[in-house]
């Protein structure tokens, strides 16, 4: 990802008239988003192999940019994201999250409301699959289902083995559920070294491919694998399994907007640029060498270690020394040059949860704020039609 100097990045992101916006706010740059989409297509080898996750941006306007770029398949986690995708005109939506409780009936509602969109879901548990089948059978509905594999993250998914074969057989024999392949997410693989990521992917795919061959030998169809996140996106893009009659789809998410951590860590994706930046203002100068800005927990995600939640493009020596709900306290040798009300720009360390803290993205073209895009799916709660 792009590792240009902070000074040149600052020139890229600065607003001509920052007084048009209150702070804190999250700025996005459509030209950079479009560039990232083209780089994703290049890395994937074409739109037919790309199924980007929408959890990073949760925004209809960015979905439309993806559709205009020729991307026809998407992945999401929540029914709210699935609804947003359908409303935006997405043709093929994988909901990579277990459907439990009332979500099953709401999923049927979604399919019936948007019959032109192909929806699919993941399962990793036989009893859950049986409940899903009963729900769909009762309402005379059908859906494609991918088996969620545990590739080492131990969060969701089922390990290859007899129980996984039993579950895939159930999906293959169901009248309401249709086995559509395997979902293989490896969120545990975030090694900066490309060589180490390649080795990790090769290791995790050995049991997965043995399992695929076992399913095929038993007469079951395995049409596709949906693999990886952003760190292993370029690795899976080059992964070969020509002896198997299936396609590998790639499901990166973060690289649509990118963030500081990924830009720092993954130099093999240097064509991906930071397309979102936080704008904040100095609100206090409590003591010499310190300033406080309005970039609290509620504006930049606090899921990263304290002191490493954003990267300021200026001053160069900023240290985060205190963070609370509405305040971020900074130490810098440039504190005396800053006045209350001054604007600063920072790259979030983790863009995905940061986006969800903002109701709108402020759209910037050539230094001017030209639009405001709602973050349509920031609430995981399903809002209906």
- The structure tokens 């996984």 sit at 164
Among 231, 260, 289, give the residue marking a domain's end: 260
Residue 243 is predicted with a pLDDT of 86
pLDDT in tens, the chain (385 residues): 444 557 778 999 999 999 999 999 999 999 999 999 999 999 999 999 999 999 999 999 999 999 999 999 999 999 999 999 999 999 999 999 999 999 999 999 999 999 999 999 999 999 999 999 999 999 999 999 999 999 999 999 999 999 999 999 999 999 999 999 999 999 999 999 999 999 999 999 999 999 999 999 999 999 999 999 999 999 999 998 888 888 999 999 999 999 999 999 999 999 999 999 999 999 999 999 999 999 999 999 999 999 999 999 999 999 999 999 999 999 999 999 999 999 999 999 999 999 999 999 999 999 999 999 999 999 866 656 5
Q: What DSSP line would sit under 156-186, residue for residue?
A: S-B-SSHHHHHHHHHHHH-SSEEEEEEEEE-
With respect to residue 332, please indicate whether it lies within any of the assigned structural domains. yes
Among 230, 260, 290, give the residue marking a domain's end: 260
Among 205, 226, 260, give the residue marking a domain's end: 260
Strand, helix or coil at 111? helix
Strand, helix or coil at 143? strand
Together in a domain, 320 and 364: yes
With respect to residue 266, please indicate whether it lies within any of the assigned structural domains. no
Q: What DSSP line would sit under 224-289, residue for residue?
A: EEEE--TTTHHHHHT---TTSS-EEEE---GGGT--HHHHHH-GGGTT----EEEEEEEEE--STT
Residue 120 is predicted with a pLDDT of 99
Using CB atoms within 10 Å of the CB of residue 246, give its burial: 0 to 12 exposed, 13 to 18 middle, 19+ buried.
middle
Together in a domain, 96 and 117: yes
Instruction: Quote the CA–CA distance of 264 and 192 in Å, as a whole number.
Output: 9
Together in a domain, 113 and 209: yes
Together in a domain, 151 and 23: no
Together in a domain, 219 and 235: yes
Q: What DSSP line would sit under 184-227, residue for residue?
A: EE-TT---S-HHHHHHHHHHHHHHHHHHHHHHHHTT----EEEE
| CATH number, position 144 | 3.20.20.10
Instruction: Quote the CA–CA distance of 191 and 290 in Å, as a whole number.
Output: 35
Together in a domain, 182 and 301: no
Together in a domain, 19 and 59: no
- Please state at what angle helix 126-138 crosses helix 162-173, rounded to 10 degrees: 10
**What is the C-alpha R_g of the chain?**
22
Using CB atoms within 10 Å of the CB of residue 156, give its burial: 0 to 12 exposed, 13 to 18 middle, 19+ buried.
middle
Together in a domain, 208 and 74: yes
With respect to residue 270, please indicate whether it lies within any of the assigned structural domains. no
Question: What letter does residue 78 receive in the DSSP assignment?
Answer: S
Residue 3 is predicted with a pLDDT of 43
Instruction: Quote the CA–CA distance of 244 and 246 in Å, as a whole number.
Output: 6
With respect to residue 380, please indicate whether it lies within any of the assigned structural domains. no
With respect to residue 381, please indicate whether it lies within any of the assigned structural domains. no
**Total domains in the fold of the chain:** 2
The whole domain housing 253 covers 30-260
pTM beyond 0.75, yes or no: yes
Together in a domain, 279 and 232: no
Tell how far CA 146 is from the center of its chain.
19
Tell how far CA 9 is from the center of its chain.
23
**Maximal CA-CA distance, the chain:** 73
- The structure tokens 């929806």 sit at 119
With respect to residue 361, please indicate whether it lies within any of the assigned structural domains. yes
* Cβ atoms 272, 39 nearer than 8 A: yes
With respect to residue 384, please indicate whether it lies within any of the assigned structural domains. no
25-28/118-123 β-pairing: unpaired
Together in a domain, 121 and 225: yes
Instruction: Quote the CA–CA distance of 216 and 154 in Å, as a whole number.
Output: 25
With respect to residue 382, please indicate whether it lies within any of the assigned structural domains. no
Together in a domain, 23 and 35: no
- Beta-carbon contacts of 377 under 8 Å, excluding residues fewer than 6 positions away, are 54, 58, 59, 76, 78, 80, 81, 83, 84
Phi, psi of 25 (to 5 degrees): -150, 160
- Percentage helix, strand, coil, to 5, in the chain? 35, 25, 40
Together in a domain, 124 and 152: yes
| CATH number, position 331 | 2.40.37.20
| Beta-sheet strand order (sheet of 143-150) | 73-76, 92-95, 118-123, 143-150, 177-185, 224-227, 247-250
Q: Which of 241, 253, 134 is nearest to 185 (CA)?
A: 253
């Amino acid at each position: 990802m792009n590792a240009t100097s902070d000074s040149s990045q600052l020139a890229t992101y600065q607003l001509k008239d920052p007084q048009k916006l209150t702070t804190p706010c999250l700025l996005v740059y459509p030209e950079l988003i479009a560039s990232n989409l083209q780089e994703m297509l290049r890395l994937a080898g074409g739109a037919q192999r790309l199924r980007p996750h929408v959890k990073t941006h949760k925004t209809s306007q960015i979905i439309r940019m993806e559709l205009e770029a020729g991307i026809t398949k998407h992945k999401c986690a929540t029914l709210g994201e699935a609804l947003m995708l359908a409303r935006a005109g997405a043709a093929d939506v994988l909901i990579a999250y277990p459907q439990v409780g009332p979500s099953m009936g709401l999923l049927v509602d979604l399919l019936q409301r948007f019959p032109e969109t192909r929806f699919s879901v993941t399962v990793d548990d036989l009893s859950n699959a049986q409940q899903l089948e009963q729900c769909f059978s009762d309402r005379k509905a059908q859906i494609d289902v991918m088996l969620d594999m545990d590739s080492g993250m131990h969060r969701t998914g089922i390990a290859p083995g007899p129980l996984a074969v039993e579950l895939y057989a159930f999906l293959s024999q169901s009248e309401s559920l249709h086995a559509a392949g395997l979902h293989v997410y490896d969120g545990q693989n975030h090694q900066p070294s490309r060589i180490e990521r390649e080795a990790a992917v090769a290791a995790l795919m050995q049991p997965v491919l043995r399992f695929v061959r076992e399913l095929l030998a038993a007469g079951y169809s395995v049409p596709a694998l949906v693999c990886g996140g952003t760190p292993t996106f370029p690795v899976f893009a080059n992964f070969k399994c020509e002896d198997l009659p299936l396609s590998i789809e790639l499901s990166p998410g973060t690289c649509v907007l990118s963030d500081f951590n990924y830009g720092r860590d993954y130099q093999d994706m240097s064509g991906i640029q930071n397309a979102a930046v936080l704008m904040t203002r100095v609100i206090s100068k409590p003591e010499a060498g310190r300033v406080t800005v309005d970039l609290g927990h509620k504006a930049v995600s606090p899921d990263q270690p304290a002191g490493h939640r954003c990267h300021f493009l200026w001053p160069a020596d900023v240290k985060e020394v205190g963070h609370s709900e509405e305040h971020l306290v900074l130490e810098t040798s440039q504190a005396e040059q800053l006045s209350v009300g001054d604007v600063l720009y920072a790259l979030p360390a983790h863009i995905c949860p940061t986006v969800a803290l903002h109701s709108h993205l402020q759209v910037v073209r050539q230094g001017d704020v030209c639009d405001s895009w709602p973050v349509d799916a920031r609430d995981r709660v399903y809002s209906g039609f």
